Amino acid sequence: MERKQLIKKYLKFFESKGHKIIPNASLIPKDDPTVLFTTAGMHPLVPYLLGQKHPLGKKLVNIQKCIRTTDIEEVGDATHHTFFEMLGNWSLGDYWKKEAIEMSFEFLTKNLNIPKEKIIITCFKGDKNAKKDIESEKIWKSLGIKKIKFLGKKDNWWGPAGETGPCGPDSEMFVKGFEIWNNVFMQYDKDSKGNYNSLKQKNVDTGMGVERTLAILNNLDDNYLTEVWKPILDEIEHLFGISYNSEKNKRIMRIIADHTKAAVFIAAEGIIPSNKEQGYILRKLIRRAYTHLNKIGHYRNLIVPLIGTIFEIYPDYKHLHSQKDSIYKIIKEEENKFELTLDKGLRIFEKLTKNKKQLSGKNSFLLFQSYGFPLEIIEDLCKENKIRFSAKDFQKEQVQHQKLSQTASAGKFKSGLADHSEKTTKLHTATHLLNEALRSVLNKNINQRGSNITSERLRFDFNFPRKLTEQEIKKVENLVNKKISNALTIKREEMPLKKALASGIQSEFGSKYPNKVSVYNIGNFSREICTGPHVKNTKEIGKFKILKEESSAAGIRRIKAVIE
C-alpha cells in the first residue's frame, strides 16, 4: 500500500464514523514554550483536551507532521526517525475505550487487512496514579485478540508532551514486533508539581506511525525501504557510488536521509540555523548529516543535491514546495558555513593535539561546542591521528555545561501557555489588546507574525518597516491600559473561517485554521480568531508594560511586555 492510500483510508474511515478532519498543523507549536516542535498529533489540541470547546466538534481526525529530537542518537536503526507523520483520531470528551478500541480493531483488520492473529496488544498494568486497565483488556478479548500484555508507566503511559498537560494510560498495537498504533486514554492533567489531576472530560488520543505502518503493510523490515525514504537512499547511492547493502553504510545512509528530511521540513517553517532553540536543532541536523557524508569519503556541497528527493516524496505538502528557494538557500548557506568551520576546526584540532598523545575532555568539548564537530568526527580524527580520546572526560565536561545552561533556562521554561496558568491567560488576552492597539496607533495593515507567551512575559511579532518612537510605544501602552481599565468583557463566538476572514477579523498571517473557528471579541475593541484561553473581563489583567521593542527579522518588529 502507498502512503497516499493509507492516509486517505484512515481519514475516510474516521470521517465515516463522524470525525471531522483538522489541518496538519505547523511543526512549530504556537504559544507553547515548553517544547520546540510538534511531537504528536495531539499537540495542537492541548486546549481542547483540557476542556475548551473545539469549533469542529468532539470527534476529530488528521494526518500530522511531527519532529522528535529526544532520541536523535538512536536514528540509524531501521525504525527511528526525527521527522515522521502520524495519523490520529480524537474524542474530546465523547467516545471512550470501547468505541476507540473497536474502531482501531475494525480499521486494522477490515481496512488494512491485518489478520487479528498477528496483532499483539499491551495495556497499562497500574500504579499509584491509575488502576490496572482491565477494561481495555476485556474489550480487546471480546474482539478475539489473544495476546495481551500488561506493562508499566515506562511503556504504557503517554504524555504530557511537555512538562505539564494532558496524559494517561495507553493501549498499544504491535504487528510483527513493531508498535504501529497507540490509543491513549487521556483523563489526567499533570501539573508542574508532578500531580496527576483528573481532567474535566475523558479524551481519547490515538497515533498511528505512517512510516512503520507502511513498512508492515509492504512486508518490509526496514522503514527506510518504504517509498518515503528509499528515493533519498537511491540518490545517495547514485551520487556517491556507495551501496545500501553494506551494513556499515546502512547506518550512515539512514542518518543522512533522516537528517536531511527533517532539516528540509524545519527550514520550510522559516527557521534559520542558529545557536538556540529550533535554529540549533536545524544546525545540528545539517552538520550531523554533513559529517556523516564525509565519513563515506565525500566533501563539499553534499546535502543540497539530496533535497530534491524530499520534494518528490511529498508532493502534497504545498508549503514545502512554495518555500523551495528559501529551503535551498538556508541549507546551502549552513553547509558552506560549516565547511569553513570544519576547516578552522581541523586546524584547531592540529594545534590542540600537536606533540600530544591525548585530547582532553575540555578540548574535545571545545571542538564539539564551539566548532560544531559531532562527537563521531572527533573520535574518528583521534583514531586517524593515533591520539587518545576519552568519551568519559568529554561527557563530564558536557554535563557540567548542561547544568549551567539548565540553570540559565530554568526560568524561561518554568511554565508556559501549555499549563494555562492564570498569568499566561492574562498575558494571552493582553496580546490581543496589544495587537489592536498597534493597529490603532500605527496603521491598520499591522498583522500578527508570531507570538510566544510564558508565565513571565509576552512576546509579539508584527509587520512594520521601522523602529517605533518612544512616543508611539507610550501611546500603545496607554491604549492597552485604557482598555484594561474600561473593564471590557471577552466573548467567544464560533463561525466559519471564510466568514471570519471576510469580515476582517484578525488572524495570524500564514496560519492554518480549520473551516470553523472561534473568534474572541474584547468589548467592541478587538476581534481575533484564536484558540484561547482568555480572561472573562479585561480588568483582571492588571497593569500592562512594554519592556522592549526591537527588530525580529526584515520588516518584522518584536515587542516584549509584562503585566504587573
Positions that interact with ligand SER (CB under 6 A): 40-42, 88, 158, 182, 184, 205-207
CB of 30 to ligand SER, least distance (A): 18
- Detail the DSSP E strand segments found in 262-367: 358-359
CB of 40 to ligand SER, least distance (A): 4
Residue number with CB closer to ligand SER (51 or 523): 51
What would the DSSP string read from start to end of 149-194? EEE-HHHHEE--SSSSEEEEEEEEEEETTEEEEEEEEEEEEE-TTS
CB of 458 to ligand SER, least distance (A): 28
Residue number with CB closer to ligand SER (29 or 372): 29
CB of 122 to ligand SER, least distance (A): 13
What would the DSSP string read from start to end of 205-251? EEEEEHHHHHHHHTT-S-GGGSTTTHHHHHHHHHHH---TTSHHHHH
* 145 backbone dihedrals φ, ψ, rounded to 5°: -85, 130
Using Cβ positions, the residue closest to ligand SER within the complex turns out to be: 207
CB of 41 to ligand SER, least distance (A): 5
Look at residues 73, 212, 188 and name the one whose alpha carbon lies nearest to residue 129. 188
Residue number with CB closer to ligand SER (89 or 260): 89
Residue number with CB closer to ligand SER (121 or 434): 121
Cα 82-83-85 angle, rounded to 5 deg? 135
CB of 39 to ligand SER, least distance (A): 7
Residue number with CB closer to ligand SER (206 or 424): 206
CB of 442 to ligand SER, least distance (A): 41
Look at residues 424, 426, 405 and name the one whose alpha carbon lies nearest to residue 416. 424
CB of 29 to ligand SER, least distance (A): 14
CB of 186 to ligand SER, least distance (A): 9
CB of 157 to ligand SER, least distance (A): 10
CA–CA dist 91, 99 (Å, integer): 10
Residue number with CB closer to ligand SER (19 or 423): 19
Q: How is residue 12 written as a grid cell?
A: 475516510
CB of 208 to ligand SER, least distance (A): 8
CA–CA dist 479, 452 (Å, integer): 21
How many Cβ atoms sit within 10 Å of the Cβ of residue 485? 11
Helix or strand run (H / E) with residue 278: helix 277-295
Residue number with CB closer to ligand SER (206 or 518): 206
Look at residues 489, 494, 473, 556 and name the one whose alpha carbon lies nearest to residue 522. 489
CA–CA dist 381, 379 (Å, integer): 5
Q: How is residue 56 written as a grid cell?
A: 469542529
CA–CA dist 439, 446 (Å, integer): 6
CB of 206 to ligand SER, least distance (A): 5
CB of 167 to ligand SER, least distance (A): 9
CB of 500 to ligand SER, least distance (A): 29
CA–CA dist 15, 356 (Å, integer): 67
Residue number with CB closer to ligand SER (153 or 329): 153
Residues counted in the chain: 564
Residue number with CB closer to ligand SER (30 or 288): 30
Question: 276: burial class by Cβ within 10 Å (0-12, 13-18, 19+)?
Answer: exposed
Residue number with CB closer to ligand SER (182 or 481): 182
Residue number with CB closer to ligand SER (158 or 290): 158
CB of 66 to ligand SER, least distance (A): 8
Residue number with CB closer to ligand SER (90 or 371): 90
Residue number with CB closer to ligand SER (90 or 373): 90
Rounding to the nearest 10 degrees, give the CA dihedral for residues 316, 319, 321, 326.
-160
In angstroms, the Cα distances linking 350 to 204, 343, 371, 381, 521 are: 57, 11, 13, 10, 64
CA–CA dist 271, 312 (Å, integer): 22
Residue number with CB closer to ligand SER (205 or 258): 205
**Radius of gyration in angstroms for the set of CA atoms belonging to the chain, rounded to a whole number:** 25
How many Cβ atoms sit within 10 Å of the Cβ of residue 221? 12
Are the C-beta atoms of 461 and 484 separated by less than 8 Å? no
Residue number with CB closer to ligand SER (41 or 162): 41
Give Cβ neighbours of residue 116 (< 8 Å, ≥ 6 apart). 105, 108, 109, 143, 144, 145
* 194 backbone dihedrals φ, ψ, rounded to 5°: 90, 10
Look at residues 529, 522, 480 and name the one whose alpha carbon lies nearest to residue 508. 529
